[in-house]
Copies of this chain bind each other. A is one copy, B any other.
Amino acid sequence: MKTWSPDFLLQEFGKRMDEWVHLTMDRTVRLAVTGLNQSGKTVFTTTLIHQLLHALQGSNLPSFLVTLENRLQGAKVMLQPDMDVPTFQYDRYIRALLGTKPTWPVPTDALSEIRLAIRFKPSGLLSKRISPTTTLYLDIIDYPGEWLLDLPMLSLSFEAWSAQTFQLCEEEPRLSLSASWRHDLANLPLSRPAQDETLRRISEAYTEFLLACKHPTIGLSFLQPGRFTIPGDLKGAPLLTFCPLPPPDADGVVVGSLREEMGKRYESYKKFIIETFFKRHFSRFDRQIVLLDLLNALNRGPGAFSDMQTALEAILENFRYGPSNLLSRLFYPRIDKLLFAATKADFVAANQHHNMERLLRRLVARPANDASFLGVEIQTQALSSLRCTRTVVRDHEGRRLSFVQGIPKGRKSESLLFPGEIPETVPDAHEWDANRFNFMDFEPRRPSDAEGPFPPHIRLDQALEFLLGDKLR
C-alpha cells in the first residue's frame, strides 16, 4: 500500500519534472567512432547510418529496442553543427559498399562529422502524453585512433615519455625497426645548439620508424605522437619535428641545446595538438566506440598482439580517475559509455564468435575491472558491420567443421575456407607457432544466405542498443 507522504509526493514530482524537461527538449548525443589498425571504422559508421536511415523500411535490428517496439518514426541526415569540421562522406562510402561492384571505401585520415535526426515515440506512459514524438540528434564523429592514443602523453613529461618509448623499443618488432633511428641518435650532439636541419633529419628517422611499425605487415597501434604519421596541413612544422631522447647525462639540459628544443617542441605538440583535440572534441563526446581488428592482430603474431593490449590499456587510462591524470584535471570527460568492438566477425565461422568476445573481454577486463573508473560503463563485443560471408558446416575427414564461404580479398569468385579457431585466452609465448593464425580478408559482397533488401550484419543492433538505446526510451 502506498503512503502519500509529503516526501514521497515531492520526490515523485521531482522525477516527473525531470522527465518532462528531458522530453520537451530535443536531445543530442555525440557518438565518437575510432579504431585501431584498419579496423573498419568507416564501414562501421557508414552501415550504422544506413541501417538507421532505413530502419522503417524493415532493416533487421532485433536487439535495437526502439525498432523492436515500433517506436522509431524515421531518421534523416541533417546539416552538421560544426562549420569547420569535414563532413563524413556517408553517401560516397555507401555507394562504394553497395554498388554493383562493391568495394571497401577508401577512408580519410582525419576527423569528420555527420548529424542524424532520429524521430521516435518515447516509451514511458507520461512521456507519451507530454510529447508524442521526440527527436534525438545524433552527431557521429569519426576520428583516427592515433589521436586517441595521443591523450596519455598529456600527463607525461618529455623525459617520462622518452623513457617509455625507449622501453618499448627493447622488444621486437620495435627493437629492429628502431635500430636506424637509434643509431642516428647516438651520434647526435644533444648538448650543442639546436640546428634546424639536425632536428629535421632525426625527426624524419623517427617518423620512418613509426611508419614502419604502422605498415600493415607489422600493424602496431601504440605509436606516439600520432600526428607524425598523419600530419595533414602541419607537415613540416616544428611541433611535428622532434623525437624521444635518452635521459640527460651529468650536463643536464643545456640552454639553447638540441635537447632543450626537443622538449619545447614536445610541449608544443601537447599544447597545440593534443589539448586542442581534447578540449574541442574529446571532452564533448557522450559515447565512444573503439573498433579493433582482433583477427589481423592474431595473424601478425605476438608483437602486434601485445602492442594492441598496450594500446587498449592506454585508451582505458584516459577514463581512469586519479590525481596523476592530467585529463581529469583539465576537463572531466563526458563519455559515460565505452564500447570495445572486435570487427570483421564474419571473417570467422559463427561458432568462433563466442571465443572472439571472450578474448576481447580478457584484453579489456584487467584494466577495466579496476574500481577507479569515472562511472563509465564499459562493454566488449564482436560484430560485423557488413556481413560478407556465411558459415557452412561440413563433415571433413570425419569431423564436423565450420567453414566460411565468401569472396576472399583480391579474388573474383566465392570460396569455402576454413579460417581456423580463435583462442579464448591470450596465447602464451610458446603457443605462437609460425602461422598459427591465418585469417583471411573478404570482399564486400553480399553472402548467398542474406535475406531482405538491407545489408546483412552481425550484432550491429546490439552495438546500437548499448550506445544509443537509453537515449531513445
Contact = CB atoms under 8 A, between A and B. Distances in A.
B89 A239 contact: no
A330 to B, nearest CB: 19
Contacts of A197: 77, 91
A130 interface: no
Contacts of A194: 79
Contacts of A77: 196-197
A85 interface: yes
B83 A239 contact: yes
A236 interface: yes
A194 B78 CA distance: 9
Nearest to A264: B83
Nearest to A239: B83
Given A91-B197, A110-B233, A238 B79 contact: yes
A233 B233 contact: yes
A146 interface: no
Nearest to A78: B196
Interface in A265-283: 265, 268, 272
A81 to B, nearest CB: 9
B86 A235 contact: yes
Contacts of A28: none
Interface in A92-134: 108, 110, 112
A6 interface: no
A84 B239 contact: yes
A79 B200 CA distance: 11
A449 B89 CA distance: 57
Contacts of A78: 196
A80 B238 contact: yes
A266 B419 CA distance: 53
A310 interface: no
A410 interface: no
Q: How many copies does the complex hold?
A: 2
A233 to B, nearest CB: 4
A195 to B, nearest CB: 8
A51 to B, nearest CB: 19
A25 interface: no
Interface string A146-188: 0000000000000000000000000000000000000000000
Nearest to A261: B79
A237 interface: yes
Nearest to A80: B238
Contact of A83 (B87, B233, B272): B272
A266 to B, nearest CB: 10
A453 interface: no
A450 interface: no
Contacts of A79: 194, 196, 199, 238, 261
A232 interface: yes
Interface of A: 77-80, 82-87, 89, 91, 108, 110, 112, 194, 196-197, 199-200, 232-239, 241, 261, 264-265, 268, 272
Given A79-B199, A84-B237, 14 more contacts: A80-B238, A82-B238, A83-B237, A83-B238, A83-B239, A83-B264, A83-B272, A84-B268, A85-B237, A85-B238, A86-B233, A86-B235, A89-B236, A110-B233
Per CB-CB distance, the 9 closest pairs between chain A and chain B, nearest first, are A86-B236, A83-B268, A232-B233, A83-B239, A233-B233, A83-B238, A86-B237, A84-B272, A87-B236
30 contacts: A79-B194, A79-B196, A79-B199, A79-B238, A79-B261, A80-B238, A82-B237, A83-B237, A83-B238, A83-B239, A83-B264, A83-B268, A83-B272, A84-B237, A84-B238, A84-B239, A84-B268, A84-B272, A85-B237, A85-B238, A86-B237, A87-B196, A87-B200, A87-B236, A87-B238, A87-B241, A91-B197, A108-B235, A232-B232, A232-B233
